[in-house]
Structure 1
Amino acid sequence: MTIQTTRRRFVIGAMAGGSTLLATSAGTAETVSDGVTVRRFAQTTPFPVNAYIVEGPEGVVLIDGLLTVSASQELGKAIAATGKPLRAALLTHPHPDHYAGLANAVGNSGAPILSVAGVNDVVRRDDSAKDAQIGAMFGPEWPVTRVFPSDTVREGDSLDFGPGLRFSVMDIGPAESHHDSIFVLEGRQPRAFAGDLAYGLMHAYSADTHNQDWQKAIDRVVAELPEDMILMIGHGTPITTGFLGWQAIYLDKFEAAIRAADWSDPELATANVMESMKTFLPRDDLAFLAELSVRPNARILGLIQE
């Protein structure tokens, strides 16, 4: 089964049985300091992915922008419903389920879209390929108008968007994606918006094949962020830095399963890898992303040539 076929079958399955791409969940607003709330806004169909609305006394900051037209339009409505100006949108990494919906979410607010330089470079480099690949699958739900960062920020920068909306920047580099970053909301109860550095008890995408760098990124975050820091992640509910140890184990198990497979039959090998991973994590959430990642990692490990 090719990667393209796997993706297409998943999308068709997600849309079947009455499901629509309109499915979202506005989540619950959590107060993290005086006058500052964080809301997890989840796109639930065709697969779960989060954006975050951070609302301060005088403005709002958005982190990531979802994937589909319908979900990102609902996200834009949720921002407008705060009655406060959007001060900025922050992009954690260059995967389309996090940047494709930014134009709809930001709308005509004029708010800057900020990322570290590496994220900006990859988004711009890869967007035409993502457009051809994903646009064909999602049709009218793939945003035709996509916007990219309007400015870049650097490691250690302090971003002040008004009372209660000060963020610090961690430039992670290659990890789950070709370039990752974290934005830490400062304050009485800080929150780290960590993109896809970890998946909340869901199977993980690693087809960008930077798993060794991902392990190093996990080590860095565990070393630099407090043990009780809450990480707001791109897929699933918030975690603490302690959970990152589980993510590292998942990556180790994934590589071990790939190495253990008999690659004389790539189809069977892929199925066996996924059987092993579902034994380790017995649930189907985002399993299709893990399946898409098997062969790219097998190639990097020198086990197949395709």
Structure 2
Amino acid sequence: MNQRLRRLLAASSAVCAIAWSAGCSNDDKPKAPQAQPGRFASPNPGSVNTYWIQAPEGLVLVDTLRTPADARKAIAEIKKTGKPVAAILLTHSHPDHVGGAGAFHEAFPKAPVHASAATDKAMREDRRGFYPLARSANPAFPAKVAYADRTFPDGSPLQVGGLRFETATFAEGESDTATVYYRPDTGALFSGDLATGKVTPALIEGNSCGWLQILDQLGKRFPAAKTIYPGHGAPGPTTTLIDEQRRYLQRIRGLVRPAVAPNSPEGTTVTPGEQKTITTEMDRTYPGRPPVADLPTIVQENIKAVARELSAEDPAKTPAACSDKPREGTLPAPASTYVGAVDGGDLDALAGAFAPDAEVVDVGRRIQGRAAIRAWAEDEVIGGKLTVTKIVENRPGYQRLLVHFAPGGTGGFDAYYAFTVDGPFITKAELTYAN
């Protein structure tokens, strides 16, 4: 769509020039880009993120890594900014996110550590015994966990470092309680482990249904969120990471459910053969995804936990959000990634949605291979706004959409996007005008 795109951009520039000659509002001026949060990810396996956000009064940090040793590596990077640390925020009580809190507090003693009332309570009670377990598994985990020295009511806004964060606390999902932090001025959402980026999550608490319901609530609570900064894995478009997390949970529940059905070989017990089949299928669907914990058998432990959960569920009372089947009208994973990447301006995510030898047919023009598709997207797609108007055709491995594409985020035109997908990748995308 190169020629039409250029005509639209030229027309847009002409309108802007006319508007400025008449005395344009300052709101029409391009806004200075907001600085992206800094990020330190500890090594795999079990990589964890900590973030630092530039604020008027210094830096605001989010989460503190698994161990003091990891924390000190992040601290060295943070100190390179030359800025003071104004505050430290905790998303939830899991050991891999709070184990380094003491080291951070020692390095930045003037920066208070903040946690929601629910997170603070979960840390102090540790009713699942996660902290002694973490110490037994990893001698580097601290002998004593450093708690927050400032708490705030669950769901209340938080003013730190000269920035305002909206917060929301969710219970009985990935963890017993979790708090997310949202910046309305930038659309940045720090989600902890609720929506993670291309990693193998831990489901050992056996609450996948609660987690699925939280993902629905998360999207509704922060509909304007643009980018999720997760506790594990790379940041990405909000809708993409939420949808990917949802599909992962639906997939493993859908594979485990037949294995615990009354008419299965061992009833509610998952046999070694069934576990191997489920593990193989999860690895095929989600290849090469590092685990969020240093646990070689994390997929097998996830299967056991989901099996216990499903065995106790009453199908008649299972919430609709916990259905194993993708919802009608939803996009296949790679197509959803493409749409989210366009809106999030994420060139890496967009290119990564395509298979290495994929093809894009853009109104008859053929772009072959991931590298060429990336160059095409950088030149003609990123910076635009893509809205799915209707799913016109939907069958296994193929979906045809009616969309509206707005170059530069305004104006635009209607088009048909047809995606052929194979597993996690788009193998072919055909783009044609709708009129």
| Fold shared, TM-score > 0.5 on shorter chain | yes
Matching residue of 1:93 = 92
Matching residue of 2:301 = 292
1:84 deviates by 2.9
1:260 deviates by 2.3
Counterpart-to-counterpart distance in 2, 1:110 and 1:270 = 50
Matching residue of 2:71 = 72
Contact in 2 for aligned 1:36/1:56 (Cα 8 Å): no
Counterpart-to-counterpart distance in 2, 1:208 and 1:258 = 16
1:250 deviates by 1.2
Q: Which has the larger radius of gyration?
A: 2
1:127 deviates by 7.6
SS of 1:172's equivalent in the other structure is: strand
Q: How many residues align?
A: 269
1:227 deviates by 5.3
Cα gap change, 1:105/1:46 in structure 2, threshold over 3 Å: closer, same or farther? farther
Counterpart-to-counterpart distance in 2, 1:34 and 1:275 = 44
Q: How does 1:5-84 map to 2 (within 5 A)?
A: 36-84=35-83
Q: Which amino acid in 2 is paired with 1:115?
A: A
Matching residue of 1:215 = 212
Q: TM-score, normalised by structure 1?
A: 0.79
Matching residue of 1:8 = none
- After superposition, what is the alpha-carbon deviation per residue over 1:99-156, rounded to whole angstroms, capped at 9, x for unaligned? 11111122251422222222222222228823332212222x2222421122322344
Contact in 1 for aligned 2:57/2:86 (Cα 8 Å): no
Cα gap change, 1:253/1:44 in structure 2, threshold over 3 Å: closer, same or farther? same
Q: Where do 5+ consecutive residues of structure 1 fail to align?
A: 1-31
Matching residue of 2:334 = none
Higher relative contact order (CA 8 A, sep 6+): 1
Matching residue of 1:186 = 184
Matching residue of 1:249 = 247
Cα gap change, 1:300/1:48 in structure 2, threshold over 3 Å: closer, same or farther? same
Counterpart-to-counterpart distance in 2, 1:33 and 1:193 = 22
Contact in 2 for aligned 1:64/1:99 (Cα 8 Å): yes
Cα gap change, 1:162/1:142 in structure 2, threshold over 3 Å: closer, same or farther? closer
- After superposition, what is the alpha-carbon deviation per residue over 1:74-104, rounded to whole angstroms, capped at 9, x for unaligned? 1222333333332221111111111111111
Instruction: Tell me if 1:198 matches 2:203.
Output: no
Q: Identify the range of structure 1 (223-232 vs 205-214) with the bigger mean alpha-carbon deviation.
A: 223-232
Matching residue of 1:169 = 167
Q: TM-score, normalised by structure 2?
A: 0.57
Counterpart-to-counterpart distance in 1, 2:142 and 2:244 = 34
Contact in 2 for aligned 1:227/1:242 (Cα 8 Å): no
Contact in 2 for aligned 1:35/1:56 (Cα 8 Å): no
1:230 deviates by 0.5
Q: Pick from 275, 285, 292 the counterpart of residue 280 of structure 1.
A: 285
Matching residue of 2:429 = none
Q: Which amino acid in 1 is paired with 2:126?
A: D
SS of 2:174's equivalent in the other structure is: coil
Counterpart-to-counterpart distance in 2, 1:110 and 1:127 = 30
